Amino acid sequence: MAFSDYRMALVTGASSGIGATAVRRLCAEGLTVHAVARNAARLAELAAETGCEPHALDVCDSFAVERLVKSIDVDILVNNAGQSRRGTILETTPGDVNTLVDINLRAVLHLTRLIVPGMGERNRGHVVNISSIAGLYAFGENETTFNSSIAYHATKAGIHLLSQQLRVDLLGKSVRVTEIAPGRVATNVFAHAKVAPDDSARLTTSFETLQPSDIADLLIFAIKAPERMNVATLEVTPTCQVVGGLQFARRAV
């Protein structure tokens, strides 16, 4: 599929960061882009800049989402909306668990079930799921992370398996599925993560980080790939970020 085969895209979490950058890039390719986020003011600014169609709604509001997608034929779905919360299993709260499951996983499942069948019927489409290396690896909490979140890891792992199973479900259709699993990106994903403001700023200023434009570049690359080629999983980290390392807890005396 080429961009000329696609007419309409829908991007969630579109008011800032990766989502807003993806909207800009897709609009520049000539698509009609429906930008979904809760922040109406930022969406209005983005619409004035790009000509996108703004929709100020919560992706967790399945009724509002269903009303929207019933009226449009989406060729490219970018599941980008997400939040993080700090907390190991010893300290995470019921509210944090529910919020992350609702935004990071449940909303993605609902959007996918509402939109992908139409792609299958038209035999045309591309789903791009923005996950995280947190869905592929376990992290210890230390001075370079200090945002360990078991609920975040679990929901992003769900997106990883969702992406894999979706390809199985769509076998034989000209509908492609791409998962982009970034390391640290300079976005506001930590805004709700219960990290002190100074620490949150240090996460993206004291260490080399990816930029939203880097992820948008990957998104465009995957969509522009020849029809015969499905870019399945893109794992990308800053050059100076790695996952790994053996840890031991000292034996209690």
Residues with active-site annotation:
152
Of all helices (H) and strands (E), which one includes residue 22? helix 17-28
Q: In Å, how far are 33, 109, 172, 229 from 168, measured between CA atoms?
A: 27, 15, 9, 15
Look at phi and psi of residue 206 and say left if phi exceeds 0, alpha if psi is from -120 to 50, else beta. alpha
Rounded Cα gap, residues 232 and 243, in angstroms: 21
Tokens of 231: 């870019």
Side-chain half-sphere CA neighbours of 132 within 13 A: 25
Q: Which residue has the tokens 């791009």?
A: 128
